[in-house]
Amino acid sequence: MPPSPVSPYDALLLVSFGGPEKAADVVPFLENVTRGRGIPRDRLEQVGEHYHLFGGRSPINDLNRALVDAIRADLRDHELDLPVYWGNRNWDPYLTDTVAQMKVDGVTRVACFVTSAYSSYSSCRQYREDLATAAEYAGDGGPRLDRLRSYYNHPGFLDPVVDAVVAAVTERPEAHLVFVTHSIPESMNAGSGPLGGAYLAQHRNGAAYVAERVAAVTGRERRADLAFCSRSGPPQVPWLEPDVNDHLEKLAGDGVRAVVLVPIGFVSDHMEVVYDLDTEALATADRLGLEAVRVSTSGTDRRFVAMVRDLLLERAAVERGEDVDRRAVGGDPACWDLCAAGCCPNPLAEKPALGGVA
């Protein structure tokens, strides 16, 4: 009998950031996120006001619940019998608890899908560190955890974005495209990927692919830029720029009258999208007299959900020693399965991380 298409895996784990679900959760959640950085509580309470605008509830956990349900349905529809678990880095359900439960359930080997598409310390290695912590917490007999590769240039991630942008520019033929992602320190970008600079390069690759596909579909090329949101570091530390609000100011000064905001750095409409873009950036655009719309993320689009299955089956085949066709668009090859030893280093202190070359 041939092996199961998912062999050697007996579970899939969705690994995400987590977020508060009620007002009382906000500061404890932010304390989890910033632990070890010495940020005073009054500053955390200030940042927490963003969450209180939405009743103290981040959208991210509900979005992850919907994604888990969609993945389960997709696996079932393709006759793949595999349980799907979910664990967060910073809020319930915590990754450590989920991996411990897997051990109780008898799970032995897990494919881990991370809801972050790009290479950097905060968007890749930090998840790998938390997977290592969860494996250590589970102890002897706990499941082996294999992180599935990054997918910034997988068509299942980018093609839903293409369709969303096409719909937006069809109604706004003069619109300028503004791709937006989470800013990180310049030093973190410089250390990202095996050769450095991967975070910025990967975003530019994805944005270029989307812009080119939109031009092909609509028959019109549009100016497209990459801007950043959610800067949180001290002012003396250089972060990737321009900030999206500053960029909108410049565009308005250049005579641009309509923009389409494309959250290329995010897989779902979580807090950085609904606050930084839907609240702050759209308010900036309104003040400047810019017609602006924010397009949707890939979320639970059927192609994004199918991508999770594709990455699972791809890695399973690799682990069985089979040749695989790795899907990728935009010119860059598909990402690596195992990160290089010096890839995306921890800026504070070296910590154990799973999914890398020893």
Is 125 in contact with 343 (CB distance < 8 Å)? yes
Is 271 in contact with 50 (CB distance < 8 Å)? yes
C-alpha 55/C-alpha 72 separation (Å) is 30
225-264 pLDDT, tens digit per residue, is 999 999 987 889 999 999 999 999 999 999 999 999 999 9
Q: How far is CA 305 from the centre of its chain?
A: 14
Question: What pLDDT, on the 0 to 100 scale, is given for residue 34?
Answer: 86
* pLDDT interval class at 47 (50, 70, 90): confident
Cβ neighbours, 10 Å, residue 112: 27
315-357 pLDDT, tens digit per residue, is 999 999 999 999 999 999 999 999 998 899 999 889 999 999 8
* pLDDT interval class at 39 (50, 70, 90): confident
Q: What is the dihedral of CA 54, 60, 65, 68, to 10 degrees?
A: 160
11-151+300-319 CATH fold:
Rossmann fold (3.40.50)
Average pLDDT over the chain, rounded to an integer: 96
- Mean pLDDT along residues 287-298: 98
- Mean pLDDT along residues 193-220: 98
Residues forming beta bridges with residue 239, ordered by sequence position: 185
Q: Which two tokens stand for residue 174?
A: 């003069």
Question: What pLDDT, on the 0 to 100 scale, is given for residue 123?
Answer: 97
Is 214 in contact with 177 (CB distance < 8 Å)? yes
- Give the full edge-to-edge strand order of the sheet including 291-294: 224-229, 176-182, 258-262, 291-294
C-alpha 181/C-alpha 272 separation (Å) is 9
Would you call the peptide bond into 8 cis, given omega within 30 degrees of 0 as the criterion? yes
C-alpha 160/C-alpha 300 separation (Å) is 10
Domain 155-294 grouped into CATH 3.40.50.1400:
yes
Is 101 in contact with 136 (CB distance < 8 Å)? no
Question: What pLDDT, on the 0 to 100 scale, is given for residue 262?
Answer: 98
Question: What pLDDT, on the 0 to 100 scale, is given for residue 233?
Answer: 76
Q: Which two tokens stand for residue 210?
A: 């989307």
Neighbour-count burial for 155-191, b at 16+ CB within 10 Å, e otherwise: bbbbbbbbbbbbebbeeeeebbbbbbbbbbbeebbeb
* pLDDT interval class at 46 (50, 70, 90): confident
Reported residue count of the chain is 358
Q: Which of 105, 78, 81, 110 is nearest to 11 (CA)?
A: 110
Does the pLDDT value for residue 36 go beyond 90? no
Question: Do the domains at 11-151+300-319 and 155-294 have one common CATH topology?
Answer: yes
71-85 pLDDT, tens digit per residue, is 999 999 999 999 999
What is the enclosing helix (H) or strand (E) of 218?
helix 198-218
Is 49 exposed, middle or buried, given 0-12, 13-18 or 19+ CB atoms closer than 10 A?
exposed
Question: What pLDDT, on the 0 to 100 scale, is given for residue 256?
Answer: 97
Three-class DSSP category at 12: strand
Q: Indicate left, alpha or beta for 310 from its phi (over 0: left) and psi (-120 to 50: alpha).
A: alpha
Q: What single-letter DSSP state applies at residue 347?
A: S
Is 268 in contact with 127 (CB distance < 8 Å)? no
User: What ranges do the domains of the chain cover?
Assistant: 11-151+300-319, 155-294
Q: Which of 3, 58, 2 is nearest to 29 (CA)?
A: 58
Question: What pLDDT, on the 0 to 100 scale, is given for residue 109?
Answer: 98
What is the enclosing helix (H) or strand (E) of 29?
helix 26-34
95-121 pLDDT, tens digit per residue, is 999 999 999 999 999 999 999 999 999
Question: What pLDDT, on the 0 to 100 scale, is given for residue 358?
Answer: 65
C-alpha 328/C-alpha 98 separation (Å) is 31
